[in-house]
């Protein structure tokens, strides 16, 4: 919650006009108390509330085509595609299921139609999001829907195939390492969807994962990562982790360090555990002192930064396909907007694909020449 409130503060100081929407907005008074100058606060799923606030504070441009697509608050060349809402898991540090309920998958025909409309409107990259992308369709028992008149099952593999046919980049977020995820890696190797997986592992100690009630078994994760890389050697794997979860011992933390050493993940975020009001984990014994949580986070990030840096260094001399976000700045298949690094070069127009030969790398970004 602290991070979200900080992000709102940053947006206010940079932009001045901020509308807050989502889980935090549903908690009465929390945002308004800390940031009384936000223009409006709405809860999750409240598209109408957001649009009303947007129209109240900004005149609505009339565009009959994009009006049909609905709200889209990203640059014109990429878009988030929400495929489901809610979650069937009950991770002990998370309150999303209590606020948004169990998984509800959107019909595959509707998702595919929205994706097609977006691509027709000029979107070059679709970012597939949900609370658990790999569980898509579980709630409707993988019911058959229709895409372009053809019967298609409501499940991740079929959705990836359908999206892969649209000719835009398709990037998957919030995928859990279930066995069936292996089936979509060949689509990445064939270039039909981006070779990029955002998999929130959170920890590597089986004991802590059990206390967290995380989906998917810990032991098989490394094996799975190796298998993905053997099918698609170019795959970029991004993940997030938590240090200092209640009960985490030095031994558990060592297992986490061992894991990142062996997994050699490309992109990693790490948070020191902070309790969320209403989360089951608050009742767990043996909380970890603040300084220990932080110190473990620092140790973790120091080592991971070295791994990530080496991974970026290995790209020097390669020529990468880059989607331009603004002149001189773009992203390769390995870089999701907002969360990963960028590729810097001279020239380019937003939404254009260019080829860039990499000359140099630092901790986060790549630098190169346009071919």
| Of the candidate residues 31, 38, 41, 96, the single one contacting ligand SF4 (CB under 6 A) | 96
CB 89 → ligand SF4: shortest distance, Å?
Answer: 4
- Asked whether position 198 contacts ligand SF4 by CB under 6 A, the answer is no
Helical segments of the chain, H only? 2-15, 23-26, 30-34, 47-57, 64-69, 96-100, 108-120, 156-164, 185-189, 206-212, 221-231, 250-263, 290-313
SS3 139: helix
Angle (CA) 329-133-326 rounded to 5° is 10
Distance CA(231)–CA(58), nearest Å, equals 48
Instruction: Please report, to the nearest 10 degrees, the dihedral formed by the alpha carbons of residues 96, 99, 104, 105 taken in order.
Output: -50
Contact window for ligand SF4 (CB under 6 A) among 42-50, 59-67, 85-93, 136-144: 85-93
CB 6 → ligand SF4: shortest distance, Å?
Answer: 20
**Count of other CB atoms within 10 angstroms of residue 124:** 19
Q: Considering beta carbons, is residue 131 or 239 the nearer one to ligand SF4?
A: 131
Angle (CA) 99-288-92 rounded to 5° is 25
Helical segments of 269-356, H only? 290-313
Strand partners, 343: 330, 366
- Asked whether position 94 contacts ligand SF4 by CB under 6 A, the answer is yes
Contact window for ligand SF4 (CB under 6 A) among 20-28, 37-45, 84-92, 261-269: 84-92
CB 277 → ligand SF4: shortest distance, Å?
Answer: 15
Number of residues that bind ligand SF4 (CB under 6 A): 9
**DSSP labels, 316-327:** TT-EEEEEEEET
Q: Considering beta carbons, is residue 89 or 267 the nearer one to ligand SF4?
A: 89
Contact window for ligand SF4 (CB under 6 A) among 7-15, 82-90, 139-147, 177-185: 82-90
**What are the φ/ψ torsions at residue 234 (nearest 5 degrees)?**
-85, 5
Q: Considering beta carbons, is residue 38 or 181 the nearer one to ligand SF4?
A: 181
- Asked whether position 97 contacts ligand SF4 by CB under 6 A, the answer is yes
- Asked whether position 131 contacts ligand SF4 by CB under 6 A, the answer is yes
Q: Considering beta carbons, is residue 147 or 156 the nearer one to ligand SF4?
A: 156
CB 114 → ligand SF4: shortest distance, Å?
Answer: 22
- Asked whether position 44 contacts ligand SF4 by CB under 6 A, the answer is no
Q: Which residues of 168-202 are buried (b: 16+ CB within 10 A; e: fewer)?
A: bbbbbbbbbbbeebeebbebbeeebbbbbbbbbbb
Contact window for ligand SF4 (CB under 6 A) among 13-21, 62-70, 91-99, 223-231: 91-99
Contact window for ligand SF4 (CB under 6 A) among 86-94, 216-224, 261-269, 315-323: 86-94
CB 93 → ligand SF4: shortest distance, Å?
Answer: 7
Helix, strand, coil shares of the chain, percent, nearest 5, are: 40, 20, 40
- Asked whether position 91 contacts ligand SF4 by CB under 6 A, the answer is yes
| Of the candidate residues 132, 198, 325, 340, the single one contacting ligand SF4 (CB under 6 A) | 132
Q: Considering beta carbons, is residue 282 or 355 the nearer one to ligand SF4?
A: 282
- Asked whether position 243 contacts ligand SF4 by CB under 6 A, the answer is no
Residues lying near ligand SF4 in the complex (CB under 6 A) are found at 87, 89-91, 94, 96-97, 131-132
């Amino acid at each position: 919650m602290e991070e979200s409130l900080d992000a709102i503060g940053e947006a206010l100081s940079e932009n001045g006009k901020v509308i807050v929407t989502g889980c935090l907005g549903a908690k009465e008074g929390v945002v308004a108390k800390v940031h009384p100058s936000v223009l409006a606060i709405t809860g999750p799923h409240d598209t109408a509330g957001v649009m009303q606030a947007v129209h109240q504070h900004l005149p609505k441009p009339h565009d009959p085509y994009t009006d049909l697509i609905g709200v889209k608050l990203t640059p014109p060349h990429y878009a988030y595609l929400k495929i489901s809402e809610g979650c069937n898991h009950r991770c002990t540090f998370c309150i999303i299921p209590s606020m948004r309920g169990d998984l509800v998958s959107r019909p595959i025909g509707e998702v595919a139609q929205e994706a097609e409309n977006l691509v027709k409107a000029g979107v070059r990259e679709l970012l597939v999001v949900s609370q658990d992308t790999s569980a898509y369709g579980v709630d409707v028992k993988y019911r058959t829907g229709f895409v372009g008149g053809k019967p298609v099952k409501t499940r991740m593999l079929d959705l990836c195939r359908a999206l892969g046919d649209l000719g835009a980049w398709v990037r998957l977020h919030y995928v859990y390492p279930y066995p069936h995820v292996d089936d979509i890696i060949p689509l990445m190797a064939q270039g039909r969807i981006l070779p990029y997986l955002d998999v929130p592992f959170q920890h590597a100690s089986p004991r802590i994962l059990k206390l967290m009630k995380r989906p998917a078994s810990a032991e098989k994760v490394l094996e799975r990562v190796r298998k993905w890389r053997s099918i698609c050697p170019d795959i970029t794997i991004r993940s997030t982790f938590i240090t200092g979860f209640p009960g985490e011992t030095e031994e558990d933390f060592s297992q986490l360090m061992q894991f990142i050493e062996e997994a050699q993940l490309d992109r990693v975020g790490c948070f020191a555990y902070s309790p969320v009001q209403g989360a089951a984990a608050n009742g767990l014994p043996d909380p970890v002192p603040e300084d220990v949580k932080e110190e473990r986070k620092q140790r973790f990030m120091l080592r991971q930064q070295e791994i990530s840096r080496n991974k970026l260094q290995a790209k020097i001399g390669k020529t990468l396909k880059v989607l331009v976000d603004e002149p001189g700045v773009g992203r390769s298949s390995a870089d999701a907007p907002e969360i990963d690094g960028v590729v810097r070069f001279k020239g380019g127009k937003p939404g254009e694909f260019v080829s860039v030969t990499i000359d140099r790398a630092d901790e986060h970004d790549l630098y190169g020449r346009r071919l």
